[in-house]
């Protein structure tokens, strides 16, 4: 379950009224998710999601919430966060603001930092087909471009530095073959990150956790394709390479979840739709195989960490870490599989 912190009806009602959303009509804990406490909140003005952040603090949250606001304002379907009209912002460039500057999108509920965002319509598609992947690829490229003029910078907090810090913490729980894989892959990713091709990768705000369960679709019919109604859960977003974001998506949306094996139809659909909005650079084409491994490593480490070092073992339903070990081994075994979808001769890419 994911209600780590109980929120009383009266406290939630006071918050939504202060935000100008009218009286609270119902408040229902959400059972999905593992990071935060989430509630569906119905008010006189509509349907919202109240999130209490269990690990993230006020220093990081403005980046995520302001990014969502920025994207929503540019027509990218994401849940727009609701501002507190009573908060006065500092003047001048956001880059000159003190680290503890108030943020009109970060509230306080039950002693935790919290946000209220619009509730998206539709449902997650946990068994996506090529049409869902095409919608996703299109959304991702539009989101990357729309983030170019976002004025805040915050590193991906689950990036290379975190992998380097966390690997020694999880290594004692691994058998010899797993430990060898983890050490070797980390060394390889540090090497890639220091390369000139990596330095040349375009970057900006990325979602960095865009799995099947973080997107909503309105179902299609026999003559209309499904339509992506929005993407949520930006709480692992950060400033990173666009290619990393694409690799995270390919590793979840375009594989067989039982085996980790690449699914060419779905990968083709995702990549083709992405490329209609933004072509990949030469450096991106070169580094796609390495980045697919990086994205698998990121979630293998975080799942190992959640699994072996849970915050509250009785409540946390950690994801299976061995899934991403399989994906990583599969990516290393067939590095060029998704690259065929870019319609380049493999030699040109592997070089």
Ligand X SMILES: Nc1ncnc2c1ncn2[C@@H]1O[C@H](COP(=O)(O)OP(=O)(O)OP(=O)(O)O)[C@@H](O)[C@H]1O
170-189 residues near ligand X, rule: CB under 6 A = none
- Rounded distance between C-alpha atoms, residue 288 and residue 7, angstroms: 44
- Three-state SS for 48? strand
Contact 303, 318 (CB under 8 A): yes
CB of 35 to ligand HSE, least distance (A): 6
For residue 92, the minimal CB distance to ligand HSE (Å) is 34
Smallest gap from residue 238 Cβ to ligand HSE (A): 12
Choose from ligand HSE, ligand X, none: what does 117 bind? Cβ within 5-8 Å by kind: ligand X
Nearer to ligand HSE, 35 or 240 (CB): 35
Separation CA 211–CA 73 (nearest Å): 23
Token duo for residue 229: 């109604």
Q: Which span (17-25, 33-41, 57-65, 341-349) binds ligand X, by CB under 6 A?
A: 33-41
* Residue 284: other Cβ atoms inside 10 A: 20
User: Please, what is the minimum distance in Å from the beta carbon of residue 191 to ligand HSE?
Assistant: 25
* 3-state SS, one letter per residue, for 192-212: HHCCHHHHCCCEEEECCCCCH
CB of 30 to ligand X, least distance (A): 4
Q: Which of residues 273-302 bind ligand HSE (CB under 6 A)?
A: 299, 302
CA–CA separation, 242 and 341 (whole Å)? 18
Q: Is 303 in the site for ligand HSE (CB under 6 A)?
A: yes
Are 156 and 245 in contact, with CB atoms under 8 Å apart?
no
Q: Which stretch binds ligand X (CB under 6 A): 31-39, 63-71, 133-141, 277-285?
A: 31-39
Q: Does 34 bind ligand X (CB under 6 A)?
A: yes
Q: Which is nearer to ligand HSE, 159 or 339 (CB)?
A: 159
- For tokens 């699914």, the residue is 263
Distance of closest approach, residue 195 Cβ to ligand HSE, in angstroms:
27
Beta bridge partners of residue 231, listed in sequence order: 215
Contact of residue 39 among ligand X, ligand HSE, none (CB under 5-8 Å per partner type) = none
> What tokens does 215 get?
């997107």
Number of residues forming the site for ligand HSE (CB under 6 A) = 8
The count of chain residues that interact with ligand X, using the rule CB under 6 A, is 17
Residue 116: what are its φ and ψ, rounded to 5°? -120, 120
Q: Which of 213, 275, 310, 344 binds ligand X (CB under 6 A)?
A: 213
Q: Which of 62, 77, 79, 238 binds ligand X (CB under 6 A)?
A: 79
Considering only CA atoms, which of 56, 173, 33, 138 is closest in space to residue 105? Answer: 56
Q: Which of 132, 75, 136 is nearest to 274 (CA)?
A: 136
Strand, helix or coil at 149?
Answer: coil
Which tokens is 117 given? 């965002």
Report the partner that residue 30 touches, choosing among ligand HSE, ligand X, none (CB closer than 5 to 8 A by kind).
Answer: ligand X
**Contact assessment for residue 154 and residue 236, using Cβ atoms and an 8 Å cutoff:** no
Which residue of 13, 185, 209, 263 would you call a contact of ligand HSE, by CB under 6 A? 209
Query: Residues 145, 278: contact at Cβ < 8 Å?
Result: yes
Contact between 117 and ligand X by CB under 6 A: the answer reads yes
Give the CA angle between residues 262, 263, 269 to the nearest 5°. Answer: 125
Least distance (Å) from ligand X to the CB of residue 287? 26
| Residue 116 touches which of ligand X, ligand HSE, none (Cβ within 5-8 Å per kind) | none
Q: How far is the CB of 248 from ligand HSE (least distance, A)?
A: 9
What 3-state class would DSSP assign to 291?
helix
For ligand X, which is the closer residue by CB, 104 or 209?
209
Q: Which residues in this chain contact ligand X in the complex, by CB under 6 A?
A: 2, 30, 32-36, 38, 49, 79, 117, 119-120, 213-214, 232-233
Q: Which residues in this chain contact ligand HSE in the complex, by CB under 6 A?
A: 35, 209, 211, 236, 299, 302-303, 319
């Amino acid at each position: 379950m994911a209600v780590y912190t109980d929120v009383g009806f009266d406290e939630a009602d006071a918050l939504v009224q202060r935000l100008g959303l009218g009286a609270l009509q119902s408040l229902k804990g959400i059972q999905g998710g593992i990071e935060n406490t989430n509630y569906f909140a119905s008010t006189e003005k509509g349907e919202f999601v109240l999130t209490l952040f269990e690990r993230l603090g006020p220093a990081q949250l403005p980046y995520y919430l302001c990014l969502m606001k920025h994207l929503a304002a540019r027509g990218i379907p994401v849940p727009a966060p609701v501002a507190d009209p009573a908060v006065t912002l500092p003047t001048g460039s956001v880059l000159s603001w003190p680290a503890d500057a108030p943020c009109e999108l970060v509230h306080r509920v039950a002693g935790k930092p919290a946000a209220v965002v619009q509730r998206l319509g539709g449902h997650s598609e946990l068994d996506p087909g090529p049409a869902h992947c095409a919608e996703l690829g299109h959304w991702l490229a539009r989101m990357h471009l729309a983030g170019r003029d976002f004025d805040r910078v915050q590193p991906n907090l689950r990036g290379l530095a975190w992998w380097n810090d966390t690997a020694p913490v999880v290594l004692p729980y691994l058998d010899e073959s797993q430990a060898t894989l983890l050490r070797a892959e980390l060394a390889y990713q540090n090497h890639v990150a220091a390369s000139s091709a990596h330095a040349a990768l375009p970057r900006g705000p990325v979602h960095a956790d865009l799995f099947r369960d973080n997107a909503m679709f309105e179902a299609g019919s026999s003559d209309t394709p499904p339509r992506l109604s929005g993407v949520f859960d930006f709480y692992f977003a950060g400033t990173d390479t666009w290619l990393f974001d694409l690799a995270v998506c390919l590793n979840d949306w375009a594989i067989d979840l039982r085996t980790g094996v690449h699914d060419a139809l779905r990968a083709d659909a995702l990549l083709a739709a992405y490329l209609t909005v933004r072509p990949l650079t030469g450096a991106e084409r070169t580094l796609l195989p390495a980045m697919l491994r990086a994205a698998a490593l990121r979630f293998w480490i975080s799942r190992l960490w959640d699994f072996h070092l849970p915050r509250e073992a009785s409540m946390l339903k950690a994801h299976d870490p061995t899934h991403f070990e399989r994906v990583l081994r599969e990516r290393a075994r067939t590095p060029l599989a998704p690259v065929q979808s870019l319609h380049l001769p493999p030699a040109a890419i592997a070089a």
